[in-house]
Amino acid sequence: MAVTKEDAWGVQARSQTTGSTHDENELRVAGFWVFLATDMILFACLFATYIVLRGNTDGGPGPRQLFDVTGFTEETFILLTSSFTCGLATHVMHEGRRRALVLWLSVTALLGLLFVGLEVSEFVRDVSVSATISRSGFLSGFFTLVGTHGCHVSLGILWMGSILFQVMRQGITPAIARKLTIVGLYWHFLDVVWVFLFTVVYLMGVM
């Protein structure tokens, strides 16, 4: 019952016996895709709730009064750019260019930080005109949906920081390459979610 080399699943079994890190890394990337599916459902439920509650402003401020076109357009461009720089980071990682990797990863995290900063200032501005989470069903839905995305981005920044630290200490090892691939997937996923937020919440709100 030896493992034959030609067998597709033999590769898997061999990696278990030899402990080769390559396949274990690939396994973890596969699992992260499944995790993203669960996160997608989470956002889908939040979107559904927002859409149900969108019109329920209870006489308080609505999307037209609150949403600032310049503000959310800036946020959108910043996050889309960060997704591009994140792609560049993955690209230079494959070429083994450590310093370029540190640069692009830092730029991505900084753009993320800028995005979160703009979002926080938007929230502060809303609250200052008494548009709080407890004002109406619409605002509960808005703050929770946009805030959940913002929390995801914040976590992504911390995550990138931790990986940045590891890249500087250990260089580009297979394990770190895997971590970068995963955080990249996460970041691009958040970008896609933002595109929907931009459309469903902001654009449809001001139109």
Point out which residues bind other proteins (CB under 8 A): 1-4, 7-10, 12-13, 16-19, 27-28, 30-31, 34-35, 37-39, 41-42, 44-46, 49, 52-53, 56-58, 133-138, 140-141, 143-144, 158, 162-163, 166, 170, 175, 179
Q: Which is nearer to other proteins, 106 or 154 (CB)?
A: 154
Q: Where are the alpha helices (DSSP H) in 54-173?
A: 63-66, 69-94, 98-128, 137-170
The residue among 76 and 112 lying less far from other proteins, judged by its C-beta, is 112
Which one, 70 or 134, has the nearer CB to other proteins?
134
Using the minimum distance from each CB to other proteins, give the nearer residue, 7 or 95. 7
| Shortest CB 3 distance to other proteins, Å | 6
Closest approach, Cβ 105 to other proteins, in A, equals: 15
Q: What is the DSSP string of 20-34?
A: -HHHHHHHHHHHHHH
- Residue pair 164/172 in contact by the 8 Å Cβ criterion: no
| Cβ-based nearer residue to other proteins, 87 or 137 | 137
Nearer to other proteins by Cβ, of 69 and 155: the residue is 155
Angstrom distance (rounded) from CA 155 to CA 158: 5
* Least gap, CB of 115 to other proteins (angstroms): 21
The minimum distance between CB 9 and other proteins, in angstroms, equals: 4
**Six-digit token pair at 128?**
């200052």
Q: How many residues belong to the chain?
A: 207
Distance CA 87, CA 92 (A): 9
Q: How big is the CA angle at 141 (ends 47 and 189), to the nearest 5 degrees?
A: 40
Q: How far is the CB of 152 from other proteins (least distance, A)?
A: 13
Q: Give the separation between CA 47 and CA 49, rounded to whole angstroms.
A: 5
Q: How far is the CB of 175 from other proteins (least distance, A)?
A: 7
CA nearest neighbour of 197 among 137, 127, 149 = 149
CB 54 within 8 A of CB 138: yes
The number of C-alpha atoms within 13 Å of 83 and in the hemisphere containing its C-beta is 17
